[in-house]
Chains A and B, each alone.
Chain A
Amino acid sequence: MSTALRFDPIRLPPECGALRKEVRAFLTEHIAAGTFDPHHGGHGESYNRAFSKSVGAKGWIGMTWPKKYGGHERSQLERFVVTEEFRVANAPSNLHFVADRQSGPILLKYASEHIKQDILPRICRGELCFAIGMSEPGSGSDLFAAKAKATKVENGWRINGSKIWTTSAHVADYMLALFRTSPPTKENRRHGLTQFLVDLKTPGISVHPINQMTGLPGFNEVVFADAFVPDDHLLGEIDGAWKQATSELAYERSGPERFLDTFYVMLELIRAVGPEPDLRSAEGLGRLVAQLHTLRRMSVSVAGMLQAGKEPVVEGSIVKDLGTLWEQKLPARVRELAAFVDPEMTNRATLDEQLAIATTIAPKLTIQGGTTEILRGIIARGLGLR
């Protein structure tokens, strides 16, 4: 516990430049073929099995994983380049991204050998979509209030209960989920949760989509009624999932996806103000550029620390706290800065349309994957305050 924060000025190594060119060429090809529209922000068409398979074929899923599991043993910094280029192009990555970012690394660390042999290569080929089963109707940020239960039976576990707000469950193949295997103890209320790999095609599991306020699907409630999970799908320590949670966080929280989710409105703003902006637009745009550059340099720095084998939990949480607040406020700031630009100008309609999308998705950005309040609690703990 210390107030010393580290953000070394990590530079992307030369191989990242060549990779970036390759990624841009690949995306340009798919845009030309009509696979997706780079000028369409938001997540409406974000699940695309064929596209995810072509990403897998390029070797851009599971990039950092061992080759024997289908990975490519490339660096976190190379993975960073792929992630940011995909985000900026609005390429549909929802199908494979969660598995690539966090489910795969957890399986690598805690799954049995034959599960790793079975599942990881399929993730790398872009064939599998993962969901994360954490929140429940009575347990959101307070993860350790989870009640959905796993009971030991012969050769496995019976699970009962429900998970909610589960992104992607309506298309996902698997879920990594926490289930209660013992009651919490007086000394440790985090005790008693165990992590499982759950095949969502298992009998006894039903998925009920819940439309988001954008009007699009995204959330789900997943109900487990006596669903059977075999023994070898248990991950890590029985009752000890809380110990496994922290290292996952640095991976989940510090990537470019934590500040680029509304980036498209910034590009529309640049189109709207034109090559010779007035003082107000230029000054406002300049601040946004400086803030974006800062977030990116922070995020690269954390990727560098992950590559060096460190677990920068506090630094990662800071990137997500600052990054998600920034991308959340971005549409409001762009709206203000574009207020006085010529309504006849060519991209006004596109700008308004993009702003509508970004404004609608903005509220969720500081909730998903750890709320602002939870992140700040983690940061405060790192500072030695709790």
Chain B
Amino acid sequence: MPGEASHLVAETAARILADFADPQTVNRDTDGSWKTRLWNALNAAGLTLAWVPETLGGSGASIADGFAILGAAGRAALAAPLAETLAAGWLLAQGGIEAPATSMTVAPCRPRERITIDAEGELNGRASGVPFAREAAHIAVLVQDGVSERIALIQIQECCVSEGRNVAGDPVDTVLFEGAKPLRVAAAPPGFTQDILMLMGSVIRSVEIAGALETILALSVAYANERIAFERPIGKFQAVQQNLARLAGETAAAIAVAGSAADAVAGADQFDDDVFLEVVSAKIRTAEAAAEGAAIAHQVFGAIGFTQEHVLHRFTLRMLAWRDDFGNESYWANELGKRAACRGAEEFWPWVASR
């Protein structure tokens, strides 16, 4: 359960985001100047390296505190690499590598892509769908040396970045490693696999999606109470009320399953089968909630919500985009289904009811 400390961290993050990344201001911004001011404030508050121990240059916050920050980022539909920097710091910390005080991202971000490291210590491979690679100064990379997993820190200049965008218009780049020379390389802890990186990324995105849905619900209810049609607020019509109740249901499901997964990861010493069930369920169910929730919110807002000027799309499109990172819901559903089938009918309920 989120404690008092996480609550304070979340409040700090929310205040900084409200001051420097207010969706309305960001939506009107054309030159991206808000990002520098925001980053300086986040850095100064120690939020960007929350998951890096103090001995490695970070602020040494708990896993739970980090998720509280990400909840705030989700509620603000943040279009800056805060989650990515947190994840990169976390990955580097697994290898005991000191984190630079820059914005970072992680690779790989897709379950089946592999980056290798050769005998000379150079990285090779291709990572697609890497969020904010072009804006990051460094990338934390999970690499394979043919026998085991290792963790590397590399400067972005060492890589070839080909630019892409997700449905929200945020950078999602392809990063090519062709004999790229890392700054640092360290062994990953025993048992650390690429699946674990994907699972950590999945909880991060689930928490952000749940946060975005919370704001979308609040915006939609407020609008339904204000907008007059047929001589009364549209929120007085039962058809609209039923839709908003469904949106509340999807939001509730996302909050519950993402919060549960974050709590499970924060309290776990390993990513066992029980944590897998929590995390993967969160990614699948929040992705489903995002699709349902976005459709309902846009229906409530009508044409005004479909304009560039309105902030609604900042939330809806971004959470839809987040579904794709670190394994989408179809990928994880297949993995979860295989695991359930492999356990068999007799062992299925004991697994679901194990916590």
A residues whose Cβ falls under 8 Å from a Cβ of B = 3-12, 20, 84-85, 88, 266-268, 270-271, 273-277, 279, 281-287, 289-298, 301, 314-315, 318, 321-322, 373, 375-377, 379-380, 382-386
Contact = CB atoms under 8 A, between A and B. Distances in A.
10 contacts: A3-B217, A3-B248, A8-B1, A9-B256, A277-B337, A295-B253, A298-B252, A298-B257, A318-B248, A373-B242
Nearest to B353: A84
Contacts of B241: 376-377, 380, 385-386
B152 to A, nearest CB: 32
B219 to A, nearest CB: 9
Interface stretch (B119-127, B310-318, B339-347): B339-347
Contacts of B264: 9
A379 B253 CA distance: 14
Contact of A383 (B244, B341, B342): B244
A377 B259 CA distance: 26
A4 B257 CA distance: 16
Contacts of B225: 384-385
Contacts, number: 180
Chain A contact surface mostly: helix
Contacts of A4: 214
Nearest to A301: B256
A266 B225 CA distance: 41
B251 A5 contact: yes
A385 B345 contact: no
Given A321-B245, A383-B244, A385-B235, A5 B255 contact: yes
B330 interface: yes
Interface of B: 1-2, 214, 217-218, 221, 224-225, 235-236, 238, 240-242, 244-246, 248-249, 251-253, 255-257, 259-260, 262-264, 277-278, 280-282, 284-285, 288, 329-330, 332-338, 340-342, 344-345, 348-349, 352-353, 355
B337 A376 contact: no
Chain B contact surface mostly: helix
Given A289-B336, A292-B352, A379 B236 contact: no
Nearest to A1: B221
A13 to B, nearest CB: 11
Nearest to A314: B248
The 5 A-B residue pairs with the shortest CB-CB distance in the complex, in nearest-first order:
A286-B337, A286-B333, A282-B337, A376-B245, A286-B336
B151 to A, nearest CB: 29
A386 B236 contact: yes
Given A20-B353, A318-B248, A379-B248, A283 B337 contact: yes
A280 to B, nearest CB: 9
Given A290-B280, A322-B249, A376-B242, A282 B257 contact: no
B333 A7 contact: no
B276 to A, nearest CB: 11
B285 A383 contact: no
A283 B249 contact: no
B221 A294 contact: no
Given A283-B333, A290-B280, A380 B345 contact: no
Given A275-B342, A289-B281, A289-B352, A8 B252 contact: no
Contacts of B248: 3, 5, 314, 318, 379, 382-383
Contacts of A285: 333, 336-337, 340-341
Nearest to A298: B256
Contacts of B342: 275-276
Nearest to A5: B252
Nearest to B277: A293
A194 B249 CA distance: 33
Contact of B260 (A297, A373, A385): A297
